[in-house]
């Protein structure tokens, strides 16, 4: 018998083909269940998701709602943020965040993570003032700050 003589419609499914169909359906079902719960997930791969109560989600991260109570030097502010798994914010993002309703930049200014290179051996750090002006200050001066931490922790 030649291939042209075989009635393809009369052939049944290939053995185990029905298992392949159900496996694909099960995979789609699992994907759908995972997608349904993604919006209210509190963990991803065992890590916590979301912002703590004293922070607010902005630009894909958790930002301190209030600036620090104490004014610290820039290196100490960096250390304080690192201790909670965060960092100082970028200047333009801090300016925009401080413009949101109910938020304000500290009147005396807040540290950013941006540096002004004065020479090969010295640098200064940008501070955003309460009037939303950028000024350059010595890193040894005390200023307030706020930390930005990841959504996943």
Task: Give the residue with greater pLDDT, 147 vs 12.
Answer: 147
- Could you report the per-residue pLDDT of 87-124, keeping only the tens digit for each? 999 999 999 999 999 999 999 999 999 999 989 999 99
Phi and psi at 135, nearest 5°, equal: -130, 155
Least confident of 12-16, 78-82, 112-116, 135-139: 12-16
Q: What are phi and psi of 86, to 5 degrees?
A: -125, -165
Average the pLDDT over each of 5-19, 34-48, 50-64 and give the range with the smallest value.
Answer: 34-48
If phi > 0 it is left, if psi is from -120 to 50 it is alpha, else beta; for residue 138 that is beta
Domains of the chain by residue range: 3-38, 47-150
Instruction: Report in angstroms the alpha-carbon separations of 121 from 24, 82, 116.
Output: 62, 24, 12
Render the chain in DSSP notation, one character per residue: --GGG--GGG--PPTTHHHHHHHHHHHHHHHHHHHHHHTT-SEETTEEBS--TTEEEETTEEEESS--SS-B-HHHHHHHHHHTT-BPPPHHHHHHHHTSTT----TT-EEEEEEEE-SSS-EEEEEE-TTS-EEEE-TTS-BB---EEESB-
**DSSP-assigned beta bridge partners for residue 115:** 125
pLDDT, one tens digit per residue, over 42-89 is: 555 555 679 999 999 999 999 999 999 999 999 999 999 999 999 999
CATH topology of domain 47-150: Mannose-Binding Protein A; Chain A (3.10.100)
């Amino acid at each position: 018998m030649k291939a042209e003589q075989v009635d393809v419609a009369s052939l049944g499914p290939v053995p185990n083909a029905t298992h392949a169909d159900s496996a694909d359906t099960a995979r789609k079902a699992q994907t759908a269940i995972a997608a349904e719960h993604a919006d209210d997930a509190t963990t991803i791969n065992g890590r916590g998701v979301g912002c703590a109560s004293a922070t607010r989600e902005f630009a894909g991260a958790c930002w301190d709602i209030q600036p620090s109570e104490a004014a610290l030097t820039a290196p100490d502010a960096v250390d304080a943020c690192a201790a909670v798994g965060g960092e100082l914010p970028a200047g333009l993002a801090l300016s925009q965040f401080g413009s949101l309703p109910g938020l304000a930049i500290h009147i005396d200014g807040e540290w950013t993570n941006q540096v002004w290179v004065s020479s090969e051996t010295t640098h200064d750090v940008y501070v955003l003032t309460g009037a939303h002006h950028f000024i350059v200050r010595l890193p040894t001066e005390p200023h307030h700050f706020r930390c930005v931490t990841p959504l996943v922790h």
